[in-house]
């Protein structure tokens, strides 16, 4: 299993804490307590390693498809007013990532990055109605040469405390390639033109860089 580079500081910290806890437990604690500490710390280490795993994915580039930007569950599909960049009506598809999902974020379409902005903010639970406008978040817009612009927004959750975004204005964006990472539970919103045909339903489980969430007319 390959691990993501964003996990290096956290993994090193957990390894250090695990080593210290095991040394202390087996040096001074009763055997039964030492075993409890050992099992608990190894479980924590296993969860952290699982969280920062890099999945083996094969991306099939499709100019008429919008791929899921992350692993998770579709929690919202609705027409909304997008106030930051488009300032008009768009179809929003929201995907919630639990702490057990892969937390790498992928470009849903290919093209050129035309907009990027980081917003500091609160840490409301990711499904809170105001999380998309009040939480820590990063907004990225990629313009496809035929289908126009699609906006996607990384939103921090109650546990997330760091959003990483690699996208920058003017740079090319390859469909299915990594554009960022969110640590420990969060959400990604995708804002599509009203003419896009939605290919998922609320409650569907999707996989980043492979599941198709919408299609454009060819």
* Burial readout 151-184 (b: 16 or more C-beta within 10 A, e: otherwise): bbbbbbbbebeebbbbbeeeeebebbebbbbbbb
| 15, containing H or E segment | helix 8-28
Whether 211 is a known active-site residue: answer no
DSSP state of 53: B
* The two three-digit tokens of residue 54, written as one number: 């890099």
Distance of CA 96 to the CA centre of its chain: 8
Q: Helices 31-51 and 8-28 meet at what angle, rounded to 10?
A: 170
Q: Which of 94, 186, 209, 211 is catalytic?
A: 186
Task: Name the residues annotated as catalytic.
Answer: 186
């Amino acid at each position: 299993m390959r691990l993501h580079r964003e996990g290096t500081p956290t993994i090193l910290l957990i390894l250090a804490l695990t080593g210290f806890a095991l040394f202390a437990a087996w040096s001074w604690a009763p055997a039964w307590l030492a075993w409890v500490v050992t099992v608990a710390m190894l479980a924590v280490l296993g969860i952290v390693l699982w969280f920062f795993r890099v999945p083996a994915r094969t991306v099939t580039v499709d100019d008429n498809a919008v791929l899921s930007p992350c692993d998770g569950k579709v929690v919202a599909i609705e027409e909304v007013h997008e106030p930051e960049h488009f300032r008009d009506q768009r179809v929003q598809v929201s995907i919630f990532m639990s702490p057990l999902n892969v937390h790498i974020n992928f470009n849903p379409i290919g093209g050129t990055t035309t907009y990027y902005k980081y917003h500091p903010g609160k840490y409301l639970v990711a499904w809170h109605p105001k999380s998309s406008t009040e939480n820590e978040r990063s907004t990225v817009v990629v313009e496809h040469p035929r289908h126009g612009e699609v906006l996607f927004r990384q939103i921090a959750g109650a546990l997330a405390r760091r959003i990483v975004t690699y996208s920058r204005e003017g740079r090319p964006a390859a469909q299915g390639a990594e554009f960022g990472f969110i640590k420990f539970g969060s959400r990604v919103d995708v804002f599509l033109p009203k003419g896009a045909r939605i290919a998922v339903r609320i409650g569907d489980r999707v996989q980043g860089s492979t599941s198709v969430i919408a299609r454009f007319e060819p």
